[in-house]
Every structure is written in C-alpha cells, then in structure tokens.
Structure 1
C-alpha cells in the first residue's frame, strides 16, 4: 500500500499542497479528481520523486519510501514523453530492457501489451505517425511494460474515444486484480465513477474527501427517493415533509425531511395503488464533487 501523510508543498508564498493524506491500496483502482491547479499533478510528482516536498511522509508497505522503491513504480505523465522517431514496438521493448528484462523477454512483453491495448497493427510504425489517442495507448504501455507494483497515471483517458477507454480500463482492471495499486487522475468524472474502487477529491491543495466509492456515496447521500407508481403521484406535492424535484404522472423524484417521512410516503403510495418501485437515489460523483469543493 502507498500511504501519503501530511504532504505539504509551497511555491514561494503560495501553498500548493496542504496536509495531503490518503492511501492507494493494492488490488484497487483509486481515482484522483480535482479541478485545474487543485494539486493532483504536484502530488503525483512528489510521490515519484520528481518534486521535493516541504513536509509529510510517504510510505510503501509500511516502510518509508526509498529512492530504489520507485523502480517498482510505473508512471504515465500527462505530457507525452515518447521518442517520436522510434518505432512503437522498438520503443516499448527498449523501456522494458531498461528495467532489466532480456532482449527476447522485453520484446515479447512489449508485443503482448501493445496488442492488448489495440496497437497490434501499429508495432512497426513510428510513434509520431500515431493518432493522439494511439500515442496515449503507447504511453500507457510504457508505464505498464515492467509490471509495476504501483501504477500512477496522470489523465490516462485524455484523448481516447469510448471504445479506447474501455480497452484501457480493462487493462488497468487486470493489473489491479494482479495486486497492483493503481492511482489515476482524470477530469472525466463519469469515467472515474464507473471504473474506480476508491476516490480522492482534492481542491485548493487540500483533500476534501477520500474513501471507497460506496462509502462516499453513503456519506453524502441525502434522503432522496424515486417513486414509480401506476397511479398519479401528484399527492406528494401536498405532503409537508416532501420536496418534489421531478414529477411526471406516476413518477416522482423527491427529498424527504426524515426517514419517517419517506416511510410514510411509501405506505401512502401502497394504499393508493400499485407501486412499481421505491428506492433511495445515491449521488453521482459529479454531485459529491460539487458538494465537497464548495
């Protein structure tokens, strides 16, 4: 497990990171979200040792992170850093060789990974001839080719179409299932919500929320319910403990003042006619994000 505790970083008088603490657990995908300038990239670069920190600590599997430990990391920066004149397969093979794999093993690993990422037909193409989306896939391969125990990806889904997102997501899930701890940032909240097991939300250099996706939904869930009935639900508008948000015949989305009010509504709906469904509505990641950064 990668554990950050009390990380601080300043640029002159500007405090870029303020007491940043969270964990990236093995076997899980952790989504790291925040607006531009929130501190995501700064945090990642500190973990990688690219930037120094002013305070706090970083531990890997319970021990202080040492320089040599970072050989166990895979990193994909937001900026593309591949050599444009190298052929795709040659490039990824070269990076595997730098991690100590033999020539044949490095070549085989690179080929298998590139094929898994949908670049099997582009192995002999120069990197610069690839589309931006395919360059992104190649960059992800560069971060993965040595089977890192910790994977840190800065905006890995940027520039990818929906099919490519699914391909990359499948590869990342596979790595997590093998035991890797995966941290990835993204502005695409719908993608993060769909893929991640855990969430970390940062704003203004401070962690505003962190935990499993289900835990955060429960913590930030209001008493919002959806009622689908075979009779008109207009009577809800006259209930003093209910605020109707959406209404269409037998469909209603509403907030209840208390759990008792919600149960009262359910009993009344059953009395009045057939109830097709009655269920609490959990907030989306976008709703949680807006709530915690305000």
Structure 2
C-alpha cells in the first residue's frame, strides 16, 4: 500500500569511476596504503601541533664563528683563522672584483701603517719565481680570497725575513670595520693638574660611521674610565678596548669639565693564528 502523504523516496545511483572488476583488484592495495598512511598522518599532525604552540626564539645576530679558510692553492698560507663568512661580516666594504696591487717597501712597517687604517693581513702568497706569471697568479689568488689590497715584496725586500725559496711574497689585506674609530693620546701634566686627574686619555680625530662616532665622542673629550675602571694611560686604554672587542662598554667622559657616560659598541677583533 502506498502512503500518499509522503513523496516517493528518490534513488541515487553512483556511477563507478572505474570498471567493477578493476575496482575490486585495486581495493585491497588501497586499503593497505590507507592503513600505512593514516598513522603517518597522525604523527605529522602531532608534530605540527607541537610546533604551532611552541614559542619561536630569535637568535641574536652575531659574527660567524671563525673557521679555517680553505683554498686549494698551495702558495697560500692563512695568517688568521677566518673563512669567507667571517671576513664578510667584519669587512668595511664588499670585496672588489680585483684587488689593488701595491709595491711594498718594508713588510713590517707597511703592516703597521695599514693596521692604523683598519687593514688586517689575512694571509700570504709565496712564489719561488718573481716573474709576470707569478705576479698574475698572486693577483688571481687575491681575488679568490677576497683581498682588498695585495702588497708585493720581492727578494730584495726585508732580506733574511723570508725563506730563500720565496722570490715573491704577496701579502693579502682586507679593510675591517674599526674597533674604536678614534685616535687618543696621554694627558699632559698640565691637563692632569687642571682637571685634577691621575690618568686618562684625550680623544683626537674621530672617524665617521665608527663606534666612537656613533657614541657621540668628539675631539677633545677626556676618557677617564672604562666600565667603572680608571684609565691610567693610552696603553691601558688600548688594552681595555682590545679585551672588550665586540662588546658594549661604558666610557666616563669629561667634556667642558662636565662628566657624562658614553656607551660604545666596539667592533669585533679578528682571531689570529700567528703574527705573519
């Protein structure tokens, strides 16, 4: 008997997406795949859930750890322990496509003058011949190690300082960001008596864009303490700066007889393997 109060129930027929016999053959493999995949989905879901609720800790920006520089050139000898990433983090400007070649006069004297300008010797190239090919090789090596300048020393320069087999010495330099960025000198007796000080240094010229400049240090300022420790003289002040390289230090400064604190974020100092 048909119930006239209710509409007839519709029948939906789902067309198979593949022949029935193929579906029967495929079904067992599909079941096995699902049995293997479901636990994996669950594990991934748990890992994702843990990651989503965990706090993300930002790592502080720091100079990369010093790592040995690797080069296949047997002529090259690294002077300090640093790789390309370490050099790039500390250098003042990007490496040039071709380093500047300079004829050196006195190896030690040149190095002292360059150090005062922020240049650091990163390595040496030693060649048994002093000819055009060795010169080209030395400059090519300078490009590969990222040198800003290549100082060339022939056999007659600083005789006795190099092995007899070295006819051409190439010293590779990179200009780094200055540690402090200002010159300083000892106080005169008159200055000490006038300021009633036992020690300290006076700031000379300040290079723009350096830690000293950014801390608003000016020529004529007197520095009498570092992190609360009195400064005796220029040598001790230099030691304070070297020991605190890469850190922020507080300088006690006297300007126009008024005392104030200046926070200086010192540049990093390269880690040396040996004195070249």
TM-score exceeds 0.5: no
TM-score (norm 2): 0.25
- More strand, by proportion: 1
Larger-Rg structure: 2
TM-score (norm 1): 0.24
Bigger relative contact order (CA 8 A; separation at least 6):
1
- More helix, by proportion: 1
